[in-house]
Structure 1
Amino acid sequence: MDIMPIEDIFKFNQITGKIKEKLETYNGLIRIVTHHDPDGLTSGSIVLKTLIRLNKNAQMTILEHLSKESIEDLAKENDKMFIFCDMGSGQIELINNLGFNAIILDHHPPKVAETEIGNILQLNPHIFGANGAKEISASGVCYLIARLFGYYDLAPIAIVGAIGDMQHLPFIGLNKYILNEARKNRYLSVIKDIVYNCYNLPISKSICYSTQPYIRELSSIDKIKEIFDELKINPEKKGITAKEAENLLEYFEKFNKNDELMVDRYEINHKINDAFYLSEVLNACGRKEMTAVGIGILLGDDECIKHGEKLYIEYKEELIEELKNVKLNSMDNIEYFIGEKGKTGIIAALMVKDKPVLGFNEQSEIYKVSSRGNKELVEWGLNLSEAMAASKEFGGDGGGHNIASGAALQKNYLNEFLEKVNEIVGKQLKK
């Protein structure tokens, strides 16, 4: 096994050892607080499974956003120990000021780059010289704790979380280390295949619902069936052969997407045995506000799996319909649109070309914002975490990664916020 790719391995071993001891010696109720997206759900399930195996009492709270208000609400139950997954590093000062006994397992840039503050232990890759935006997701951070107890079988769930966080193109750094560990222990295998074979669906529906990649011309079942009739492929079969895939790729050359169609498939030790498909089902659960179903799926519950697969189809049908109708507004340095809750992030990501895209959805007196860039824009200097932090000037809060970030702001400040972000991004891309 390769040496763990961390700059300061001594400091890493110190803090993970302290977290392990804290978990082993604590005997009260432990409250897991995690995010609602695939990385957050996989993070929460890895921690939950670890605690169950350690015979600890645990409960879970799943949040869309760790706001000041939600932290203050959690502080009312300060007789517990808290484990914050996929969140907390940006709010560590407030968590400390409110006297939490906590562990933070996060991959977002930390507000305080220390492993210990007050009664809080923080494991964050940025502190050890690893990049949390592309080298490890929160589920990977949680797995680095689970493996201390010998729970190597949870590595594939960390891989699912990393895929959900778009860190698999390709896996590098700590993600690759975890992937190799899962392969070595035979909990995961990799095969080269056409992306449409990842889903446990008729091949025509796999293509129609695909957003990775998204081909607008193939978002109609009738159109896809015409193509399959021409290629003499049964559109109702689940999965296609290598020869059929070859013929399909040849036909799809006109869409210039073939480099995205052949992928590494990760088959895992789970009832939904394709990591890519599992991450998509979990995403639908989060977006449809059925996060408990997502956790049930990760715990292997058959009814939750059935329900989750139905939610996936519902979510994809709604998403494809909205993609057909989205109207982008363009400014000098950014593009934006107003969309529906639960879909703005993925739509923004699919719309990115030469400018970052912001998707807004209205919730009472505020706008929630999902902003997305791409690797090229980041290489040119884009940092959406910095841009979304501008929401603090407009009665809100925001942050995240350089390539993908979110925010909330008072609704009446929309135009001022757009002007500010446009200005910030303009400066970033001219550096």
Structure 2
Amino acid sequence: MIVTPSFRWKFSAAVGGALLVVAACFLPLPGAVALATAGGALITAAGLGFFLGPPPAPVRVSEGERLEAMADAFQEGMLDLYSLYEVGRTISASLDLDQLLTTTMKRVAQTTGIESYGLFVLDEEKNGLVTKSVSGAAAQTLEQLTLGPGEGLAGRVCRTRLPEMHTGTAPMSWPDVPRSTRSVIAVPLIGRDRPLGALLLYSVSPSAFSERELAYFTAIGKQLSIALDNATQHHRAMELSYHDALTGLFNRRYLEEALETEIRRAARYTVPLSLNMVDIDHFKVYNDTHGHTRGDEVLRLVAQRLREQTRTADIVTRFGGEEFVLILPMTTKPHARLVAEKLRAVVASAAIDAGEPGGKARLTISVGVSTFPGDAATASGLLQAADAALYAAKDRGRNRVEAFNDTNG
């Protein structure tokens, strides 16, 4: 076997680059980036050497060609390794679900040159797969697509949990494959205990993908599955931490964060923002008389009425105990007062089971209204103003609405 000096250099550079990329995986991020970049440069240089360097000596041509082919395959594998490292670094950078999916698919497109893809994610509320990220020819036809259980190529690989590769000269029949597609790779995204979605990659050319590319995108899919599972779990934990378990409304923690955000938005665009602070009248007496189970039912009923009577943009929260706070964006004080009066009337019309034969309890609420920026310029100040107005409503007989003004303060 004859090995040329050119081949030795190219092979050594590819191996050295690969070792640098692998070593980067075990270092802190700043050092890892530098080391991986150097490794990638060596691998790329080795690849260019194959095209720009002098040809091997014309001795035992078949043996030389075999070695060159082996080196090409090795160099391609190293490039795949470096590309996987880059994608993996992008995937691990975020637990925000939407940001994770968007940035990861952009990175995949950059490192692979893939122009058309569709990323489908399981939506439990819709009981199917929904499109989360699309690009290229897939964008126009797949952007609003929702697939039922097992539907489409994405649904099939989710069910079988096995990647697939297809090619042909005619349009494919799956609804999640654009009609211009002649080659497609479908990779399932599998979490700890269930399918999470599927990644589909499209080409308008027949036989555009090889087994090597199928293996590469399967590896991408496994990385994406882990990150997607972690992001989903994180999202669920955040949802639980922001919601009241009894009523399903946002809790006080969410209220405080959302109110700060809405005040900044109102100040930036010079628009009003109002609060309605709601308290159930005589709730302690009802709770002590009829028991905590009946009291919980009352809290859930009031929460339901508040949700039903507010806009999508409004934020309904349980402040604590029998108190609720509604954030009303772009709402003046007169309009906020009208909203509060509507809420009071709706709750007063509800008949509450008192737990006795034929017994019905009358339920009423009192509401305090405050508005940014006239009553206060901060979140805490706006809450204090609404609380003062609520106290005035209770002091003046309950089952009424009061708006904050100088006499309250």
Q: Same fold (TM over 0.5)?
A: no
Please tell me whether Structure 1 or Structure 2 has the larger radius of gyration of its CA atoms: 2
Compare relative contact order (CA 8 Å, sep 6+) and give the higher one, 1 or 2: 1
TM-score interval for Structure 1 and Structure 2 normalised by the shorter chain? under 0.3
TM norm structure 1? 0.24
